[in-house]
């Protein structure tokens, strides 16, 4: 895909964020305060909330090539991995809901808990339409422990919403492109919008948290990021046993995904005044 791919991905992300969300600048063009923007994210999340039963269960196949056992297993394992991810997401979102002190943030996080629970509902219904398959990632399990061990709000929001959800958006975009006219594809399109809000609200709340942060706090967060990165990259390119036959053919694509995600993360992190956790 060359070097243009990551840049295109960044532009697309911007487009999703500006088209799908309420404009985040004031009418006079000046950006508003972070907590004021959290209130708008709350309203956007309410407006785009959807129901799992709205997906095209009765009119479209659940996954592409559903008549082939091999491909049912491939997609089944993708669904299992996403289910694993959303189990952590609902846990992380619930902790944030219970920890954040500001009413604007608490209102917003109440919508995020509902979104993540709905995602589990959707993945579970999709998984139960297919034969059982193992998609459990040991690397993601370790990453989850790290998310959930975070003691500071600044750490959890940064790892979970700024980094992880920012990159998950691109994964959903890729899934959506290869699963058109299926229930999985319809759900992936919903997730692009939900996670655009989750990511952007995380960047905004982190901006609020860091508005008076000391140099020591920023240094500490940069260290946390650096320690977390190797495991993140391992998980990114890991495939469960039923998809290992794709490894050789996807090697170039995997390198592109790593590079793209590093670019996305580096942009988010440096915008917040932190040091990127790798050299690009």
Nearest-approach distance from CB 195 to Fe ion, in angstroms: 5
The C-alpha atoms of residue 214 and residue 280 are separated, in whole angstroms, by 26
Find, among 206, 269, 197, the residue nearest to 232 by Cα. 269
Out of 38, 62, 76, 86, point to the residue binding Fe ion (CB under 5 A). Answer: 86
The answer to whether 198 contacts Fe ion (rule: CB under 5 A) is yes
The answer to whether 199 contacts Fe ion (rule: CB under 5 A) is no
Binding-site string for Fe ion from residue 100 to residue 139, where x marks contact by CB under 5 A and - marks none:
----------------x--x--------------------
The answer to whether 72 contacts Fe ion (rule: CB under 5 A) is no
Q: What one-character-per-residue DSSP string does 34-82 give? A: HHHHHHHHHHHHHHH---GGGS-TTTS-SSTTTT-HHHHHHHHHHHHHH
Nearer to Fe ion, 119 or 173 (CB): 119
Give φ, ψ of 25 to 5 degrees.
-95, 155
Of 51-59, 146-154, 162-170, 272-280: span binding Fe ion (CB under 5 A): 162-170
The answer to whether 89 contacts Fe ion (rule: CB under 5 A) is yes
Of 1-9, 43-51, 84-92, 269-277: span binding Fe ion (CB under 5 A): 84-92
Of 47-55, 159-167, 211-219, 255-263: span binding Fe ion (CB under 5 A): 159-167
Binding-site string for Fe ion from residue 165 to residue 184, where x marks contact by CB under 5 A and - marks none:
x-------------------
| Distance of alpha carbon 71 from the chain centroid | 24
The C-alpha atoms of residue 172 and residue 256 are separated, in whole angstroms, by 16
- Is the CB of residue 277 less than 8 Å from the CB of residue 20? no
Coil/strand/helix, residue 130:
coil
Residues β-bridged to residue 78: none
Interface with Fe ion (CB under 5 A): 86, 89, 116, 119, 165, 195, 198
């Amino acid at each position: 895909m060359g070097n243009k791919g990551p840049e295109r991905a960044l532009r697309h992300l911007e487009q999703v964020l500006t088209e799908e969300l309420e404009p985040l600048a004031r009418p006079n063009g000046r950006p508003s305060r972070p907590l004021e923007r959290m209130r708008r994210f709350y309203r956007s999340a309410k407006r785009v909330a959807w129901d799992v039963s709205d997906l095209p269960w009765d009119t479209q196949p659940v996954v592409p090539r559903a008549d082939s056992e091999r491909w049912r297993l491939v997609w089944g394992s993708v669904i299992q991995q996403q289910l694993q991810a959303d189990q952590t997401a609902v846990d992380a979102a619930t902790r944030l809901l219970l920890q954040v002190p500001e009413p604007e943030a608490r209102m917003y996080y109440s919508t995020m808990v509902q979104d993540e629970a709905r995602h589990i509902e959707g993945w579970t219904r999709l998984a139960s339409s297919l034969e059982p398959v193992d998609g459990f990632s040991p690397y993601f399990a370790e990453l989850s422990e790290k998310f959930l061990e975070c003691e500071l709000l600044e750490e959890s929001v940064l790892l979970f919403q700024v980094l992880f959800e920012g990159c998950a958006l691109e994964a959903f975009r890729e899934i959506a492109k290869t699963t058109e006219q299926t229930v999985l594809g319809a759900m992936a399109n919903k997730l692009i919008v939900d996670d655009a809000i989750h990511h952007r609200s995380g960047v905004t709340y982190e901006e609020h948290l860091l508005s008076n942060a000391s140099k020591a706090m920023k240094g500490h967060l940069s260290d946390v990021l650096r320690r977390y990165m190797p495991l993140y990259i391992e998980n990114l390119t890991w495939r469960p046993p039923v998809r290992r036959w794709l490894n050789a053919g996807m090697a170039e694509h995997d390198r592109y995904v790593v590079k793209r995600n590093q670019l996305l993360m580096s942009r988010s992190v440096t915008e917040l005044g932190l040091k990127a956790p790798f050299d690009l």
